[in-house]
Amino acid sequence: MNFVVPAGIQQLSRNLPPRLADKLFAVWKRRWRQADQTKLAIERIDEYENLVIWNAKKMASLPDPWLRKLVEHVSNLEFYPDIDAALKLHLNDDYAQIKRYIGHLIFAKQPDCQIAKEWNFNPGVITALRMLFFDFSALPSSPVAQWATLVQWVNNGDIKPDEFALYRRVHEMGPLGLKAQVAGAFLNADERIEVKDYLTKTALGNTFNIQFATRTPREALVYNRVIGDLVRLDLQREEIKVRQHEQKLLEMQVAKLGKELNEGKVQEMQSEDLKLIQSAISQLSRADAEPRYKTVFDMTKPK
């Protein structure tokens, strides 16, 4: 900007009366016009010679609708409140851990509305975070390919090594893996059973790793001990299943017995109601509820 009053002229104008200060500015403007200068000038052309110039009319050609909304928002062409809140959450380091765990839940394919309810966010903000920063829709469907992708992300620096453990738990167990990793004390009975079952399954993979690493007789003894522990774990798991089936069978028998008792009570109540109705009818008709008809011998008996 060249059309700027010099500091010396501004200081002198403050020491003059208003009438003389206005005349001083008029003289300066006249001299500035006589110098034939432009009001705007680029002082360092090298900063702007490689500047990319784009046309807002071409915005519709962007294939990704969320990218188009983001460009429109940061260019002040359109205001999107959900994108604005998502950008503030993403760029603010004070919310780094919150954004991190929300990303884990999105990776676990937890619905946006459920995440928003748990974290007290607007569902639209969670959707904007997912579409702009945590879009895992391009992940391969194979578990092995997903595992290789996670390892590649660590090697590329896309995720930190300390985050890899959480991504691994989520990859293998879903949202329960994240809850078991960071809040294991709050697991209910069914979740604890599922976690124990997962740990039993992972023991098999760890045993494979030990087998491949066995080199000395001592390591072989350790490996055999691990195999024995693994067998005992399988037996305990089968025992747990048998006990669960026995418990279900006992519950079914108790329910059947209760149903039979209830049916007996209903039949008893129905018989009592029937007697009460018969008594009321006999009083109204002044006849026995169960009349006794005369036989042939009674009819032929002399009076």
Same domain, 34 and 121: no
Residue 53 pLDDT class (50, 70, 90 cuts) = low
- CA separation for the pair 284, 294 (Å, rounded): 23
Q: Which of 136-145, 197-206, 209-218, 231-240 has the lowest mean pLDDT?
A: 209-218
DSSP 8-state assignment for residue 24: H
pLDDT of residue 265: 54
Could you write out the three-class secondary structure of 66-126?
HHHHHHHHHCCCCCCHHHHHHHHHHHCHHHHHHHHHHHHHHHCCCCHHHHHHHHCCCHHHH
pTM of the model: 0.51
Q: What is the identity of the amino acid at 31?
A: R
Q: What is the extent of the structural domain holding 123? A: 65-175
Check whether residue 89 and residue 165 sit in a common domain.
yes
Is residue 92 scored above 50 in pLDDT? Answer: yes
Task: Please compute the mean of the pLDDT values over residues 236-255 and round it to a whole number.
Answer: 78
User: How many beta carbons lie within 10 A of that of residue 27, not counting itself?
Assistant: 11
Listing DSSP states for 210-246 in one string gives HHHH--SHHHHHHHHHHHHHHHHHHHHHHHHHHHHHH
Average pLDDT, the chain: 76
107 in the same domain as 134: yes
Tell whether 260 is covered by a domain.
no
The closest of 66, 62, 59 to 137, measured between CA atoms, is 66
Say if residues 125 and 134 touch (Cβ distance below 8 Å): no
Q: If you average pLDDT over each of 22-26, 31-35, 285-289, which comes out highest?
A: 22-26
Q: How confident is the model at residue 173 (pLDDT cuts 50, 70, 90)?
A: confident
Is there a domain that residue 121 lies in?
yes
- Answer yes or no: do 18 and 83 share one domain: no
Is 49 a residue whose pLDDT tops 70? no
Residue 138 — φ and ψ, nearest 5°? -90, 5
Check whether residue 104 and residue 11 sit in a common domain.
Answer: no
pLDDT higher than 70, residue 185 = yes
Most confident by average pLDDT, 1-10, 43-52, 132-141: 132-141
- Domain count for the chain, please give it: 2
Take residue 194 and report the two structure tokens written for it.
């599922």
Cα separation, 117 vs 78, whole angstroms:
28
Residue 206 placed within a domain: no
Among 156, 175, 194, which residue terminates a domain?
Answer: 175
Does 26 lie in the same domain as 94?
no
Q: What is the DSSP letter of 137?
A: T
Residue 252: inside a domain, yes or no? no
Q: Are 180 and 173 in contact (CB under 8 A)?
A: yes
Binned at pLDDT 50, 70 and 90, residue 52 comes out as: low
pLDDT (tens digit, 9 = 90+) per residue, 108-143? 888 999 999 988 999 999 999 999 998 888 888 888
**Domain membership flag for residue 84:** yes
Distance of CA 184 to the CA centre of its chain: 17
